[in-house]
Structure 1
Amino acid sequence: MSPTRLGQNQYGKAETRVVHVTREGRTHHVRDLNVSVALSGAMDEVHYSGSNANVLPTDTTKNTVFAFAKQYGIDSAEQFGIRLARHFVTSQDAIERARIRIEEYAWDRITDEHSFVRGGRETRTAEVAYDGTHWQVVSGLKDLVVMNSTDSEFWGFVKDPYTTLPETRDRVLATEVAARWRFGWTREEDPAPRWEESYAEVRRHLLEAFAGTYSLSLQQTLYAMGERVVEHRPEIDEVRLSLPNKHHFLVDLEPFGLVNDTPDSAVYFAADRPYGLIEGTVLREGAEPRIPVTD
């Protein structure tokens, strides 16, 4: 008898870039997605003996992404992921679970017709999992860079022999928001959320909470952002946030005979690393955490 056994496993095609252009005469609409498919189920034999009898080729999953974009269009990242996950689980007996991860890239119009420029916005994300009975949909965004040039303090923290950071009653607070939020919707027979509306509203609440919180710590700001989403969006049970602290340090200008940080202006050095990384989850009361801390 072998001293080993197979554990959790999955396979699929990662990062299929699909750009769908909808044409309404000379007016075009673009959806630009990066789709990753992961499938799992009765896959023991392909690992133990190399038998591919239950294996749907990853090339087929790639082709399915393109074909479904053409056949059904892309109403939203979430709905497209749901359609793909349902197809893989219900069309193949050996596949018991499908996970679809999607990043969406924004394009802004140059003209009213068919010229676009890549938006300098965040990247939208979506992850859909389906086991044949229940759904789990986790939407999100990343690379959303925000900054408050004031209304942030940091003081009263623990000090030990290695502490050199001075306390401050006024600082720049900047971060690059990565957020994921899990929907309470899990059953096909229940009405699904309005994905596009939900994304826009969650993004709005994240930004408004960041801007509207007088911050004594980035942790406080993180909780305020997640709390606002859960309180205002009943379809969402869990929000996980990762907020790197994009440190801005006042530049010492005294060698040049200049006084920095005057009432009318200040000059900062924006350091990219190392950086503080603040992460946390905000849950609806009674909900269990299900978004993984790491992939």
Structure 2
Amino acid sequence: MGIVLGPNRYGKAEVRLVRVVREDAVRHEITDLNVSIALSGDLAATHLVGDNANVLPTDTMRGIVYSFAREWPVGEIEEFALRLARHLVAAYAPVHTARVRVHAYPWERITAANGPHPHAWSRGAGTRYAGVVCGPDGTQVVSGLEDVTVLKSTGSEFHGFLTDRYTTLRPTDDRILATSVQARWRHAGVAADWGASFARARATLLRVFADTHSLALQQTLYAMGEAVLAEQNGLVEARFALPNKHHFLVDLSPYGQDNPGEVYHAADRPYGLIEGTVLRDDAAPALAELPW
């Protein structure tokens, strides 16, 4: 029985990049990114005998990220990730596949005395995401969002579940439903109006969460994914991770008070974690290296 090297990759993780576009002496635009690169290819020698002839230093990858941000406008993060991935595969022969992840942190202009301030911001909610894989089997793009916390104070039930002697949870026909949405959606192609597609998908997810009378967070997950795909023909798959942010009604009877669904304890852990995928039944499979 032999021992062989299995799949492997390496790269530079979490390159923090802030790009300021100075439209004039006063008004600026800001882009705040976290970029991670992973490469695979003809790299067996570095693992087996320490021969680094085919190894692109991770410090060079960091330099490429900063240099590309200076040479071109960053633009939409999907386009920036595509530019990086295509360069890494084309410029370095030992590299067969490049995987790039980009998180974009939103900043909102502070409202000052004369309206939105031209160069002062406060950090916005949520994070935008883009992931790209470029290799011999093709190129694919994933967009998404995370850390978008949503809550509805009614319109959610949970009952009819399995019970046994360990079950203490009581069925309910009215509860708070809250989660922090992590959503990813895969594009059919590698050219799109990335910004418009993201804005539409985000709006769809929030609308469906609000409008769906939920009998389970799983049901809400499917409804969100189904709507995103139905409203954009250029999307073929959506994946979700939805932690159930539990809110428990507090027993106020020791204080001689009732609690008609008004006072809750917001628990941070443990929590239920609901994960699922919604896809078109004729969708081509996702590439193995695609960074979900």
**Residue 210 of structure 2 aligns to a residue in which SS?**
helix
* Aligned residue in 2 for 1:32: 32
Moved over 4 A (4+): 291-295
* Aligned residue in 1 for 2:134: 130
Gaps of 5+ in 2: 111-115
The answer (yes or no) to whether the contact 1:90–1:132 under 8 Å persists in 2 is no
Q: Does 1:115 align with 2:120?
A: yes
The answer (yes or no) to whether the contact 2:133–2:291 under 8 Å persists in 1 is no
CA distance in 2, matches of 1:289, 1:245: 29
Match of 1:164 among 168, 190, 198: 168
Distance 1:133 1:245, change over 3 A: closer
The answer (yes or no) to whether the contact 1:37–1:61 under 8 Å persists in 2 is yes
RMSD: 1.7
CA distance in 1, matches of 2:86, 2:28: 29
The answer (yes or no) to whether the contact 2:247–2:265 under 8 Å persists in 1 is yes
The answer (yes or no) to whether the contact 2:106–2:127 under 8 Å persists in 1 is yes
* Aligned residue in 2 for 1:270: 266
Q: Does 1:142 align with 2:146?
A: yes
CA distance in 1, matches of 2:169, 2:176: 15
CA distance in 1, matches of 2:198, 2:276: 20
Which letter does structure 2 place at the counterpart of 1:33?
L
Question: Per-residue deviation at 1:48?
Answer: 1.4
CA distance in 2, matches of 1:75, 1:294: 20
CA distance in 1, matches of 2:284, 2:157: 32
Q: Deviations over 1:31-60 (max 9, x none)?
A: 100000101111111111111111111100
281-290 or 225-234, which moves further after superposition?
281-290
78-87 or 158-167, which moves further after superposition?
158-167
Question: Per-residue deviation at 1:287?
Answer: 1.7
CA distance in 1, matches of 2:168, 2:195: 46
* Aligned residue in 1 for 2:251: 252
The answer (yes or no) to whether the contact 1:86–1:132 under 8 Å persists in 2 is no
Distance 1:211 1:48, change over 3 A: same
241-250 or 126-135, which moves further after superposition?
126-135
Identity %: 52
Question: Per-residue deviation at 1:290?
Answer: 3.0
CA distance in 1, matches of 2:223, 2:275: 13
Higher strand share: 2
The answer (yes or no) to whether the contact 1:89–1:132 under 8 Å persists in 2 is no
Q: Equivalences for 1:194-209 in 2 at 5 Å? A: 194-209=193-208
The answer (yes or no) to whether the contact 2:46–2:52 under 8 Å persists in 1 is yes
* Aligned residue in 2 for 1:189: none
Match of 2:277 among 281, 286, 290: 281
Gaps of 5+ in 1: 187-191
Distance 1:67 1:289, change over 3 A: same
Q: Equivalences for 1:48-197 in 2 at 5 Å? A: 48-110=48-110, 111-119=116-124, 121-132=125-136, 134-185=138-189, 192-197=191-196
Q: Deviations over 1:193-239 (max 9, x none)?
A: 11111111110111011001000111100000000000001111000
Which letter does structure 1 place at the counterpart of 2:98?
A
Q: Aligned residue pairs: how many?
A: 285
CA distance in 2, matches of 1:280, 1:34: 26
**Residue 277 of structure 2 aligns to a residue in which SS?**
strand
